[in-house]
Amino acid sequence: MDDDVQHRRRGGRGGQHLPAHRGRLLRLLRLGLALFFASRGAGRLSWPLVASTARLVVVAAGGWIALRWAGGTPESLYVVIAASLAVMGVTLAAAVSMADWRPRG
């Protein structure tokens, strides 16, 4: 039996793998999405837009830097994506904590 088949039987998927810290990255994504939809559901659309734009800017600028200076390794791109999700989560968490959540009347 070749190594690839043995690896798949042990639960591997073959090819390149995500870094071991992907669980933390997914937690940031879940937090950001939960706060994003909570803000939208409450009718506060400006902060989710700001957070999404900030995430886009971090991915675009950080991705360009990672490709130019870090050689575009999967690890450098992973760090950029993690940073963008952290920016989105922190922005939305701050906005939600400072918001007035009383019903508009």
Residue 11 has pLDDT above 60, yes or no: no
pLDDT confidence of residue 54: 94
Q: By the 8 A CB rule, do 4 and 14 touch? A: yes
Q: In the chain, what percentage of residues exceed pLDDT 70?
A: 76
Residue 27 CB coordination number (10 Å): 12
Return d(Cα 71, Cα 23) in angstroms, integer: 25
Q: By the 8 A CB rule, do 89 and 38 touch? A: no
Q: What is the pTM of this model?
A: 0.69
Give 39-82 pLDDT, tens digit per residue: 887 777 888 899 999 999 999 999 999 999 888 888 888 889 88
